Structure 1
């Protein structure tokens, strides 16, 4: 049996050029590569077939860039040798293989099962990260319902919360920003529609969500301009001036601020912050105002 270091070195040599995530998954597995190769027609598993042999056939299929077939072999280990250490290793590899194959629903189910069965395992963080990443890959177009985006955001935040000192947390944080921007973008899409329909109150409510919940996204600049626009249309001058002033203070070089300034100035006023406004208070809470 190879040592862990020898296994890692051999795996890296085999998968050179496949990418870091693939290398990490195989190293975490800690298995050895055998010369045996899985048969495409091997649907029936002999009852005495060793778990290690089936497992290594899965690794071989991964090396051959056949992840879905590999996932099936890893599942065979879990089915024929349940509760064994090989079954545990195979379950994390099943999750990875399905993720590589683009079978995200299967990866999510497998990863969640791993975290449920082995919450204290050193690979639990990786399993949770794969679940979150699979959900992230399922994020829909901004014009569609964003329930899956929220699910992805929750799962990514769980990675950061449970495993803050891992490399997975660092990567998850980047994906969190993208997911948050997606949710903010959806609010902006609806808000702009209401604005076009002259439903100014409905529009303001949507832009308010962006300003209060998604201040760190790129959507907030336009949200402040749209608030200026909506409040000017309603004749609520103080709030329009405040939205423009907060926009100018936090994003002085923004084209949105230039447009907001022109809009307020056209009404014979200047941007002026009302400290009691919800807009001003929202930015103070974030330390931006």
Structure 2
């Protein structure tokens, strides 16, 4: 009787011991050297300019091993991989995530600069809303104000000028559209906005000043003509009544 009970227990114990490898595989943390291999594979892909593959490696670390020693650097490198692949919307999202998760990290000045650059480069044409250029401008200003002694603050100054030129060109584009529609009052208003708000963008401001002067004259001519026609129409109606 005692022997018959012992044999099943021995069998269960042997199965348990043999299954430890399976338990380790599915329930225990993956050793850090495995994460290191993934991280190094991502770095190798970056060196080879295979940014799509690099992003996949870094995303895997970010999603599957968020507490790994390699996670923070992988999160930052993910933004760089997207940026170099010209996936600017994804890059901006990755940089935003990094800032949110690590607001005091030493790389934040770099992250803010890259975030501004991603937003700026994602703006492809003056006929599109310039919201992201305005947002980029905010990041560059913030970089100058909060981290003035960093190398990225100096770089931000140049990008602020670039963003302001894009915004001025966008405003002129809208003014030109109104001009083409013979809506000279609206065109003049837009040109005036450029002259007043973007004097530092000298070439665009000068163009807006010249076009604005003509737009204003045409607007006044149109107004005078409308008044004259209205008066003539009033007199004609009076004679018809008589």
Which residue among 194, 211, 230 is the counterpart of 2:215?
230
Cα deviation code 1:241-278 (max 9, x no counterpart): xxxxxxxxxxxxxxxxxxxxxxxxxxxxxxxxxxxxxx
User: Aligned partners of 2:220, 2:101: CA distance in 1, in Å?
Assistant: 59
TM-score w.r.t. length of structure 1: 0.60
Cα deviation code 1:195-222 (max 9, x no counterpart): 3444332122101210221111121111
Q: Which residue of 2 aligns with 1:65?
A: 49
Are the counterparts in 1 of residues 144 and 153 from structure 2 also a CA contact under 8 Å? yes
User: Aligned partners of 1:235, 1:107: CA distance in 2, in Å?
Assistant: 49
Are the counterparts in 2 of residues 139 and 152 from structure 1 also a CA contact under 8 Å? no
Q: How far off its partner does 1:235 sit?
A: 5.1
User: Does residue 139 of the first structure (1) align with residue 123 of the second (2)?
Assistant: yes
Matches within 5 A, 1:117-266: 117-217=101-201, 218-234=203-219
SS in 2 for 1:139: coil
| Greater C-alpha Rg | 2
User: Aligned partners of 2:218, 2:63: CA distance in 1, in Å?
Assistant: 65
Q: Which residue of 2 aligns with 1:47?
A: 30
SS in 1 for 2:70: helix
Unaligned residue ranges in structure 2 (runs of 5+): 1-28, 222-242
Unaligned residue ranges in structure 1 (runs of 5+): 1-45, 237-289
Aligned length: 191
Q: Which residue of 1 aligns with 2:91?
A: 107
Matches within 5 A, 1:16-27: none
SS in 2 for 1:119: coil
Q: Which has the higher helix share?
A: 2
Are the counterparts in 1 of residues 168 and 204 from structure 2 also a CA contact under 8 Å? yes
User: Aligned partners of 2:206, 2:140: CA distance in 1, in Å?
Assistant: 25
Cα deviation code 1:38-62 (max 9, x no counterpart): xxxxxxxx93362322211211111
Superposition RMSD on alpha carbons, in Å?
2.2
Are the counterparts in 1 of residues 32 and 68 from structure 2 also a CA contact under 8 Å? no
Distance 1:109 1:192, change over 3 A: closer
Are the counterparts in 2 of residues 55 and 90 from structure 1 also a CA contact under 8 Å? yes
SS in 1 for 2:125: coil
User: Aligned partners of 2:137, 2:145: CA distance in 1, in Å?
Assistant: 12
User: Aligned partners of 2:41, 2:219: CA distance in 1, in Å?
Assistant: 68
